[in-house]
Chain A
Amino acid sequence: MLRSLLALRARVFRRSRFNFAAILLGFLLQTAFLGLRGHALGRCPITNLFEVLVFFAWSIALIYMVIGPAYRLSLMGSFTAPLVFALQSFALLAPIDLPGAVRVMPNAWLEFHASISLIAYGAFALACVAGIMYLVQERQLKTHELHSIFYQLPPLPNLFSAMLRLLWLGFALYSAGLISGFFTGEPLPWTKVMLALAVWIVYAAILFGPRLRSVAPRRVAAFCVAAFAAALSLLWSIEFVAHHA
């Protein structure tokens, strides 16, 4: 029943307010779903891959709700919604909601570590969205081929600063998640720690690199998109390894 409710979420890509309302509605339904799941499980509902994906989609929507209106990035919703929708659909369609896959969550540190890391991924996802918007706009300006979207996309500096702020937010959350990971009292799987550190180093390089030597904003945006794609596949492999170990 809950799943059918989730599937009903309207993701109609119309302009501005309607779009925002659709995302808000979807977000509220996601929240309700996660809340009910969490209540039933008696812990934060990120116990299997299905829940992780839903939680991840939820964090993207959350960050968008917080950031979107503040930056007035008119088109961000149209870029974000498909991403959330794709994640959500995949979570619903793929046979990954296996009750047998439920892991035991013994302590609060572990729950904090997992949830804060996922929210950090949500921020990185939106930074990636802003990065894509930047690259699209930059490409149009460079090639002189102005499509209809050119007039709707914000100016380059606005996109770039939004991307940077999202990166900082994600980086701060991710660092917190990373540090808290050491306090879980769990045995630390070597590969997982390495992968997590690698993601941290990549984002640190993107944020601090341009301070050390000159890097064109276009490259920073491209790195940001590439880093997210890499991090996403890492997240996937972390979960995969965790479940199949």
Chain B
Amino acid sequence: MKLFCVGLNHRTAPIEARERFAGHGRSVTFLREGGCAEALLLTTCNRVEVYAARERELTTNEVAAALQVDAGDIEPTNLAAFYRHEGIACAHHLFRVASGLDSMVVGETEIFGQAKRAYEQARAANEAGALLHRLFQRAFRVAKQVRSRTEITRGSVSVGSVAVELAEKIFGDLRGRKVLVLGAGETSEKTLRALASRGVSDLRVSNRTPARAEELAAELEGIAVPFGKWLEQCREIDILISSTAAEAHLLRPENLMPVLRERMDRPLFLIDIAVPRDIAPEVNELDGVYLYDIDSLQSIARETLELRRQQVAAAEAIIDEHVADFADRIERSVRDEMRAQRPETNVAGALRTSEL
């Protein structure tokens, strides 16, 4: 039996190709009928990959056909988008994928959960056997080690998640915190959703156009606040996300100071996403006020990404170590199996071992 992996990802194929070969309910069955003793499909928004143990040669074309969602011919350009890893290279590839090294955002951890779910499903459906079991268990171990021994998953790489990370360091637990969104926009909405996903439940929206505030509030299960009253709201809230189209600073030390006095030293986290800025930079000098504008959030995200990139070499070293060890173990167990089953045909056993 031989391990192999065939697939395409965000680097080798555009979304049009990835959705065409996204796989479907019968894909694994096709593969197994085509000569795979074990087969597993890993599909995410950035990749479609088949991990399988085959008993006979299986062309990339055949795998592509099994993955194809619609009818029609597979063009050579589509086929060129597929990569293929055989034997130990397949293990190497999966270890990198599971550790987040192959992801669009290096070090993201979502792929770990996706791989885990794919494996569990295949296991439950009896489509993954002993070989894939060992491969994936090892991949999960590697990914955990990479996560704990390097800093590759550290920090946040988007404006929304940086904001959440900062909020958690300022407030500790985010549950029960109150947040006000001033103005509207894609980034502020994303940031708001990111905060909501970490337990912020009291959402307030204020906009010069009341209808827009109502709309967003309804969508996020928050409440709309009249635009004239946003400064009063600053007495109660913990986080302010501001993204209005105002020309001048809305929040300045002069109008914030009286509000702060009533806040009894509760910290205030100000996120200014607007350009030109809504909040005067001097506000950051006030005690207990943490002001971040879009530039500082983005530069934190960039620095984190840079830090992650610097960690890639260390992660690769861990992976290489595991790949070598994994190859060793598989070879040994195949040899042991051979010896146990048919001690007389050592030549055949050695041949099959060298295949892996």
Chain A residues within 8 Å of B, Cβ to Cβ: 137, 141-142, 144, 146, 148, 150-151, 153-158, 210, 214-219
Contacts and interface: CB of A to CB of B under 8 A. Distances in A.
A142 B265 CA distance: 15
Interface of B: 151, 154-155, 166, 168-172, 261, 264-265, 267, 284, 287-288, 290, 292, 296, 299-300, 303
Given A146-B300, A151-B154, A156-B267, A218 B288 contact: yes
B271 to A, nearest CB: 12
Contact of A141 (B151, B170, B287, B299): B170
A172 to B, nearest CB: 24
A141 B288 CA distance: 10
Nearest to B167: A155
A157 B288 CA distance: 12
A156 B171 CA distance: 7
Contacts of B264: 214
B178 to A, nearest CB: 16
Nearest to B297: A144
A79 B188 CA distance: 38
11 contacts: A146-B300, A148-B151, A148-B154, A155-B170, A156-B171, A156-B172, A156-B267, A210-B265, A217-B267, A218-B288, A219-B287
Given A151-B154, A156-B267, A216-B265, A142 B290 contact: yes
A137 B165 CA distance: 13
B290 A141 contact: yes
B287 A150 contact: no
A133 to B, nearest CB: 12
Nearest to B293: A144
Contacts of A155: 168-172
Nearest to B296: A144
Contact of B265 (A151, A154, A215): A215
Contacts of A210: 265
Given A144-B296, A151-B154, A156-B267, A217 B288 contact: yes
Contact of B155 (A141, A151, A219): A151
A156 B169 contact: yes
Contacts of A217: 265, 267, 288
Nearest to A215: B265
Given A144-B296, A156-B267, A216 B172 contact: no
B284 A142 contact: yes
Contacts of A158: 172
Given A155-B168, A158-B172, A146 B303 contact: yes
B3 to A, nearest CB: 35
A144 to B, nearest CB: 5
A214 B265 contact: yes
Residue among A137, A146, A215, A219 having the largest count of chain B Cβ atoms under 10 Å? A146
B287 A216 contact: yes
Nearest to B295: A144
B304 to A, nearest CB: 8
B293 to A, nearest CB: 9
Nearest to B300: A146
Nearest to B264: A214
Contacts of A150: 169
A-B residue pairs, 6 tightest by C-beta: A216-B287, A155-B172, A157-B172, A144-B296, A155-B169, A141-B290
Contacts of A156: 169-172, 267
A54 B253 CA distance: 50
Given A214-B264, A216-B287, 15 more contacts: A141-B169, A144-B296, A148-B151, A155-B169, A155-B172, A156-B169, A158-B172, A210-B265, A214-B261, A214-B265, A215-B265, A216-B265, A216-B288, A218-B288, A219-B287
A72 to B, nearest CB: 12
Contacts of B267: 156, 217
B276 to A, nearest CB: 19
Contacts of B303: 146
Contacts of B171: 155-157
A219 B166 CA distance: 21
Nearest to A151: B154
A137 B169 contact: yes
Query: Considering residues A144, A210, A216, A219, which has the most beta carbons from chain B within 10 angstroms of its beta carbon?
Result: A144
A133 B32 CA distance: 58
